Amino acid sequence: MTSESLQASRGTHDIWGTEIRLWQFLEQHARRILGQANYQEIRTPIFEATELFNRGIGEGTDIVSKEMYTFTDRGERSLTLRPEGTAGVVRSLIEHKRLQQGVQRCWYQGAMFRYERPQAGRQRQFHQLGVEVFGSDDPRSDVEVIALGLEFLEALGLSHLTLELNSVGDPEDRQRYKAALVDYLTPYASDLDPDSQVRLTKNPLRILDSKNPATQKILAEAPQLPEYLGQDSQRHFERVQSGLTALGLAYELNPRLVRGLDYYTRTAFEITTRELGAQSAVGGGGRYDQLVQELGGSATPAVGWAMGLERLVGLLQKRGETPAPDLDFYIATQGEGTANLSLQITQMLRRHGLRVEMDVSQSALGKQIKRADKLGCQACVIVGESEVATGDITVKWLATGVQELVAFPSGFSDSAVWRQKLRPNP
């Protein structure tokens, strides 16, 4: 009887081999850059009560209305795999009363789940890295998070990035704009694409996102959001722009940028690249001064962003980024009597903090050395019967082919000697 082989679910992806090294590199990079700015990592559960996302993200959004992985557990609770990170972070900070303790800066990373049509750069399980700052409506906190996002990307060596910026105003500003937009679009309703027709009553601002050429043509003459900003939103927006300019950060104003989630207020931004084809957004975010209150906390202003890690890995791969080799030494053996000596050398080198793999395949010596090469090791330690007899161990430097004899144990006990001979660790 044969059974059908199992495959990863549609829209999911196994990460391993050279790709996982890029992920680890990205994670280290994030820890360093965000740690420098004193952002604290937070890990929240992968599933939460469905209500959290319904209330936090908004019922009219694509995410809540058609993309959530929602299920009922054995205790009849409705749970949802998190489609984004912010709602869970807010829930956690309210629950643990951290918002009463002054400004909180945090970051997270992890898997998110959306039932979308999979395509290059768009998956059903994907990973985001995000930052949030709670407790300040100072425009400098908007500038800080945007600058941090750009710094994170630029320190990775990614260029061709564009920062698109808009202000979606306060809820009252948006209400006035929504009314004006609906007034303008209603006479054209039958010419809009079907999605936009539905949005005209459900969530008119999302029409601004439409890629449909006919809809875009109609939008060309539509009223623009920034014209509807009240004085406070206007002043906030100007100060954000002035802060970005003071830091030498270029931006493009995009009055149609509204983002997919309902909770944004005032600043909205997206970081895009031309290198990713159709899925050009690397990340995005903005200010969300209403969300904490909507989720049951006391009114707390907040600002943050999220980036898609698959897209960043894709950019690094495209650039031909090859992670540094993982290993310093490979321990090859030949002959039964070499077993204990190879164990001892392996342990000694690892205790010096070096990265060592011991061959346990029992294959021919030539094959073992080939594997050492393939793994990108710097040197292969060859332990044969004659080495056991004399105590002089052959070390072969793989880049040059040069071999030397090193006495065991004295020659292996001084880690400084090895560090000098090895290329530095990445």
Q: How far is Cα 72 from Cα 323, in angstroms, rounded to an integer?
A: 42
Rounded least distance, CB 142 to ligand AMP, Å = 16
Among 226, 284, 297, 314, binds ligand AMP (CB under 6 A): 284
CB-based contacts of 100, cutoff 8 Å, min separation 6: 298
Q: What angle do CA 415, 419, 423 make, to 5 degrees?
A: 155
Burial 157-191, CB ≥16 within 10 A → b, else e: ebeebbbbbbbbbbeebbebbbebbeeebeebeee
Rounded least distance, CB 200 to ligand AMP, Å = 22
Residue whose C-beta lies closest to ligand AMP: 308
**Dihedral, CA of residue 25, residue 31, residue 34 and residue 36, to nearest 10:** -110
Element (H, E) at 130: strand 125-134
Q: Are 265 and 205 in contact (CB under 8 A)?
A: no
Among 310, 357, 359, 387, binds ligand AMP (CB under 6 A): 310
Supply 169's token pair.
Answer: 């105003």
Cα separations in angstroms, 354 against 260, 417, 419 = 47, 12, 9
Total residues binding ligand AMP (CB under 6 A): 18
Among 111, 222, 249, 281, binds ligand AMP (CB under 6 A): 281
User: Closer to ligand AMP at the Cβ: 47 or 188?
Assistant: 47
Stretch that binds ligand AMP, among 40-48, 115-123, 365-373, 376-384 (CB under 6 A): 115-123
Rule CB under 6 A: say whether 58 interacts with ligand AMP. no
Alpha helices in 247-338 (DSSP H): 291-294, 309-318
Q: Which residue matches tokens 């009055």?
A: 255
Rounded least distance, CB 317 to ligand AMP, Å = 15
User: Closer to ligand AMP at the Cβ: 310 or 357?
Assistant: 310
Annotated binding-site positions for L-histidine? 84-86, 114, 128, 132, 259, 263-264
Rule CB under 6 A: say whether 328 interacts with ligand AMP. no
Among 44, 109, 128, 338, binds ligand AMP (CB under 6 A): 128
Site string for ligand AMP, 254-273 (x = CB under 6 A): ------x-------------
Q: How far is Cα 168 from Cα 157, in angstroms, rounded to an integer?
A: 31
Between residue 73 and residue 112, which ones bind ligand AMP under the rule CB under 6 A? 84
Residue 122 phi/psi, 5-degree rounding, is: -135, 115
Rounded least distance, CB 58 to ligand AMP, Å = 13
Among 54, 80, 104, 123, binds ligand AMP (CB under 6 A): 123
Supply 370's token pair.
Answer: 């080939």
Q: How far is Cα 336 from Cα 297, in angstroms, rounded to an integer?
A: 68
Q: Which residue matches tokens 């937070």?
A: 42
Residue type, 308: G
Rounded least distance, CB 114 to ligand AMP, Å = 5
Site string for ligand AMP, 1-40 (x = CB under 6 A): ----------------------------------------
Among 82, 91, 114, 266, binds ligand AMP (CB under 6 A): 114
Rule CB under 6 A: say whether 287 interacts with ligand AMP. no
Among 56, 226, 304, 308, binds ligand AMP (CB under 6 A): 308
Among 13, 21, 98, 122, binds ligand AMP (CB under 6 A): 122
Rule CB under 6 A: say whether 306 interacts with ligand AMP. yes
Among 23, 39, 126, 288, binds ligand AMP (CB under 6 A): 126
Strands (DSSP E) found in 316-402: 329-333, 356-358, 379-383, 392-397
Neighbours of 245 (CB within 10 A): 12
User: Closer to ligand AMP at the Cβ: 30 or 354?
Assistant: 30
Stretch that binds ligand AMP, among 28-36, 102-110, 243-251, 275-283 (CB under 6 A): 275-283
* Beta-ladder partners of 123: none
Binding site for ligand AMP (CB under 6 A): 84, 114, 116, 121-123, 126, 128, 260, 281-284, 306-308, 310-311
